[in-house]
Chains A and B, each alone.
Chain A
Amino acid sequence: MNPCSTTLTQLRDAIAKGEISAVQTAQAYLDRIALHDPTIHAFHETYNERTLERAQQVDDGKITGPLAGVPIAIKDNLCTTFGRTTCSSKILDNFQAPYTATAVAKLEAAGAIVLGKTNMDEFAMGSSTENSARGMTANPWDTTRVPGGSSGGSAAAVAADFAPGALGSDTGGSIRQPAALCGVVGMKPTYGRISRYGLVAFASSLDQIGPFCRSVEDAALLLDAITGHDPLDSTSLNEPVPEHYKTVRQGTPKNLRIGLAKQYMSDANDPALTKAVEQAIEVYKQAGAEIVEVDLPHTEYGIAVYYVVATAEASSNLARYDGIHYGHRTENPDDLVDLYAASRAEGFGEEVKRRIMLGTYVLCSGYYDAYYLRALKVRRLIKNDFEQAFEQCDAILCPTTTGPAFKAGDKTDDPLAMYLNDVYTVNANLSGIPGISLPAGLTDEGLPVAVQLFGSWFDEARLLQIAQVYETATSHQHHRPTMGN
């Protein structure tokens, strides 16, 4: 078998059964990365030696677990004691963490092997992976286009078959949007489901780690490995976690109710997306689901609320990068204030600076009530919308994006146009609910489009079951980009 063109679950089973060794698997992926990543630039760095060493340990039976021998790519904002953790920022150019993110540690405890760190928008701020101090990532479907962002490297890595699965982080759509643009499955679990310890914070109340993969089943498998309470993260839920993989394998839930909200059906959507959603509705009708109309009246305020809340938190979270204790420090500062100002001016990119300024502004006394406090109130209303909607349905179906991948450079001069990429994803972060993006076929130009399903809080198991109904019926996940091999 070719380990690079299977699903994560199949690969895992093949390794477990001894049909392929973990070392062969690892070597195949490393070879493929070496061959194609110079074109794609999904990775900042790979850990070849470490990967092969761990693979050998899997083959020797020294490393076991439900993911034994499965190579995984991780976003460069997840701290590891090996390699660097840069967040695609000059300010953390040489940062080596003395700790490993809980989610990554759990992944490896389940037997997975971290292949390398993937490119991203600097500090996860962006929707195209163009805001990276370390160069952009190309969309494997069309290298003149962006892979989406901010977890563009992880999405591209899975799309380009550089890894059967990857971890990213989703603050306003940073997993689901690039998954959609790269034609892979991407999921943001409920806020609090996965520990954020070791995930470099962008906006603490919105950030959530989640998987990229090639099937719903794969997502369930990865989720099982990384979920659970962490005493190091007070915001992680301290409740038993259901077995997602088992639940998904059990099959289709009965008496499904799929919600549709008019607020997600804009005429401005690309026709391919409208078609994709219509097709999805048909799939669920065929499966016996009831289609119900739900109202999410505060949807349109999502982007505004998001860019107040997220930037406010970011302005504070990123204050620590000051050149004093670690990270980039300017040479020959005049005094302390100059050391701060110059280190930060040199270390941060344009978009990060823009958001720090915006966030600082909305938290200033005199503006706090008008912006930050009001944003919190509207955030509550958005959450209420979903609470009411989930009384009427089990999942909400909508597009992930308004269109397919755009050309690199198209939106870099227009921050607002870039921000609107998140229009269908941010509200899941603001309300904390889980969301999953599923491949939904290709446009006439051959670019992937996606549909998205929202589930209720901590109801990932059912959301995955519902997603699998669509996946099984359509098989869109089998589309792969042509990479010249």
Chain B
Amino acid sequence: MTAAYPNLKTRLMVGMEIHVELSTRTKMFTSAPNVAHPDYHDASPNTLLNPVVIGMPGTLPVINEEAVRMSIQIGLALGCKIASFTKWDRKSYYYPDLPKNYQISQYDLPLCGPGEIEIPVSDEPDAPMKKIRILRAHLEEDAGKLMHEAPGGGKIDHSIVDLNRAGTPLLEIVTEPDFDTPQQAVMFGQVLRDICRHVGVSEGIMQKGHIRFEPNINVIIEKEGVEYRTPIAEIKNLNSFRAVHGSIAYEYERQIEAWLKTGQVMDARTKSTRGWDDNKNVTTLQRVKEDEDEYRYFPDPDLVPLNVDPALVEALRHQQPELPLARRVRYRDELGLNTRQIDALIAEPGITQMFEAVLAEGTAPQRAVSILLNYGSKRANETGCPLQQLGITAKHIHEIAALSDADKIGSSAAADLFNLCCDHPDQTAADLANKHKLLQVSDDGALEGFVDQVLANPKSAKAIEDIRNGKDKAIGALMGQIMQLSKGQANPKRVTELIKQKLQN
């Protein structure tokens, strides 16, 4: 910025509000199925309803304890203090996607209190770490969706409501304004998403809106020793990291330009909400908040306050899996994995779990990684089935690694064996290798027979001469024939040795 505005010193200041949809089986306050649970992702509109969701007269909310547990898990991962006493408040506003015209939320006593978490400031391998302070995280219910087009995109002269999402448990996490680059905000978002997915509280599918970001952005401008703060803009409902980065970067420039033009600085009446235009890569003004919103919060008389059992918090703290960031460091420092490998292993919690299980079988890390990521990814791509659901077990992978290490199978046989294990998860890899004749012939008696037969073949003369002249590459030409004779089971390493031996004598 300083380059573009030579006489200004500017600093970006961003805080984030993040909504995480929890993947409980049922909704926050009733037993209707939750659209954020993987079993219900593709439910047809308005099929995940019951009278409570529709806010019919006389219906009452009942707390979903699973959602409370999941929220505590996220809170703990973010280093938050977990409240021992928390309550539920009604936040009132009228909108057709909010059937009761109030949202059950938590106003002054959130479930998770202040905390902090360290994040890398960028995705560079050795990026320095930075502390991000968490202000609070509170549990509430999501609203439904209002649509202005017919399903499939047709024009309609009215709006339609889908209440499938109404009542989905939502954890709203609020940070302090601790981000000073768009990259930091993105890194935080990614760290949070990884946490949620690895702790198992959200599917974290961005396109489905499982995690939604609302950065609050302004710029501190120093000119001739005087500090000015631009009005805060809140960007609503971002559901991609690209949008988080783009909107913050855009606002940084826009707010400086606006200040240069108008000189307007932050006060209570200048906060605005803006939207992100994904096609034009700009933010657009939605409304200027003249006053604080009037939500008429008050304690929900239909619910009793929640006393959080400290034993539950301790149990959840104890059960917490290794968090993704710590795991990355361990994979790098202790297992010697490279960034590409780590990214691939951490990308899916199921893959991470599979990898850990393979390690637990006693497989060497590099072996485990290469089998999982080479054969596994290939098969996952070919079959369209997620790697962690291919059917192959950690035990199989360990067996395949052991067979390879003992030179009992070659690399192409290993790939075949991997696929066989996926198809027959109930059989051992050794049995499958045996049954499908994938085990290499390393016994010299048998191999010498093949080698002699090939060397005696007149067609081999050219290759033999090349090999004698030191061109080892020519062994490849003979190897093909030997593999044909051995139906692929000859151990190529031993064959090479035998050929060389015989031709040198």
Report the bound CA distance from A233 to B301 in whole Å. Answer: 11
Report the bound CA distance from A477 to B61 in whole Å. Answer: 40
Q: Give the chain A neighbours of B8 by CB distance below 8 A.
A: none
Within 8 A of A (CB), among B106-152: none
**Partner of A232 from B56, B60, B102, B303 at Cβ < 8 Å:** B60
Q: Does B197 contact A (CB under 8 A)?
A: no
Number of A interface residues, CB 8 Å?
Answer: 44
Q: Does A204 contact B (CB under 8 A)?
A: yes
Least Cβ distance of B16 to chain A in Å?
Answer: 25
A198 and B99 within 8 A (CB): no
> How many A-B residue contacts, CB cutoff 8 Å?
101
Q: When each residue 47-79 of chain A gets 1 if its CB lies under 8 Å from chain B and 0 otherwise, what string results?
A: 000000000000000000000000000000111
Report the bound CA distance from A360 to B296 in whole Å. Answer: 8
Q: Give the chain B neighbours of A79 by CB distance below 8 A.
A: 56-58
B57 and A95 within 8 A (CB): yes
Q: Give the chain B neighbours of A319 by CB distance below 8 A.
A: 92, 94, 100-102
Report the bound CA distance from A226 to B168 in whole Å. Answer: 32
Q: Does A82 contact B (CB under 8 A)?
A: no
A92 and B57 within 8 A (CB): yes
Q: Give the chain A neighbours of B161 by CB distance below 8 A.
A: 324-325
Smallest Cβ-Cβ distance to A192: which chain B residue: B304
Q: Give the chain B neighbours of A372 by CB distance below 8 A.
A: 298
Interface SS of B by simple majority: loop
Q: Give the chain B neighbours of A77 by CB distance below 8 A.
A: 58
Q: When each residue 48-64 of chain B gets 1 if its CB lies under 8 Å from chain A and 0 otherwise, what string results?
A: 00010011111111110
* Given known A234-B61, A319-B100, A360-B296, contact A326–B54 (CB-CB < 8 A): yes
**Partner of A235 from B92, B96, B304 at Cβ < 8 Å:** B304
Q: Does A120 contact B (CB under 8 A)?
A: no
Q: Does B465 contact A (CB under 8 A)?
A: no
Q: Give the chain B neighbours of A315 by CB distance below 8 A.
A: 296
B55 and A364 within 8 A (CB): no
Smallest Cβ-Cβ distance to B88: which chain A residue: A234
Q: Give the chain A neighbours of B57 by CB distance below 8 A.
A: 79, 85, 87, 92, 95, 97, 200-201, 320-321
B60 and A233 within 8 A (CB): yes
Q: Does B292 contact A (CB under 8 A)?
A: yes
B58 and A201 within 8 A (CB): yes
Smallest Cβ-Cβ distance to B296: which chain A residue: A363
Q: Does B90 contact A (CB under 8 A)?
A: yes
Which of B92, B99, B296 has its CB near the most chain A CB atoms (within 10 A)?
Answer: B296
* Given known A235-B304, A319-B101, A322-B94, contact A197–B59 (CB-CB < 8 A): yes
Q: Give the chain A neighbours of B55 by CB distance below 8 A.
A: 320, 325
A204 and B92 within 8 A (CB): no
Least Cβ distance of B56 to chain A in Å?
Answer: 7
* Given known A231-B62, A232-B60, A322-B94, contact A316–B54 (CB-CB < 8 A): no
Least Cβ distance of B300 to chain A in Å?
Answer: 8
Which of B54, B59, B90, B102 has its CB near the most chain A CB atoms (within 10 A)?
Answer: B59
Q: Give the chain B neighbours of A326 by CB distance below 8 A.
A: 54, 56
A196 and B60 within 8 A (CB): yes
Q: 28 interchain pairs (CB within 8 A)?
A: A78-B58, A79-B57, A79-B58, A85-B58, A99-B58, A197-B60, A198-B59, A200-B58, A201-B57, A201-B58, A233-B60, A234-B302, A235-B302, A235-B303, A319-B94, A319-B100, A319-B101, A319-B102, A320-B55, A320-B100, A320-B101, A321-B57, A322-B101, A325-B99, A325-B161, A363-B296, A363-B298, A368-B298
